[in-house]
Amino acid sequence: MIPLVKALFCEVNPIPVKEAMNILGWNAGPCRLPLCEMSEANHKKMVDVLAKYDTSATAKFLAK
């Protein structure tokens, strides 16, 4: 879980948390000003980290 925790704190919160939720299919929307979108490099890291975890529970929940 350490890689996930590091990814969730790679930028100012709530930017990484909202990004992770959007990647997983939860429509968290964009960040509001003064926050900005996550950098492309950190977005790629987040996708890579999330791909290592079983997100089938999330998919089943969203399918309801």
DSSP assignment string, 25-47: T----PPPTT--PPPHHHHHHHH
Q: What is the pLDDT at residue 20? A: 93
Q: What is the pLDDT at residue 57? A: 62
**Helix (H) and strand (E) counts in the chain:** 4, 0
State pLDDT tens for residues 5-63.
Answer: 999 999 999 999 999 999 988 899 999 999 999 999 999 999 999 988 877 666 666 66
Model confidence band, residue 1 (pLDDT cutoffs 50, 70, 90)? confident
First and final CA of the chain: distance in angstroms?
27
Q: How many residues can be counted in the chain?
A: 64
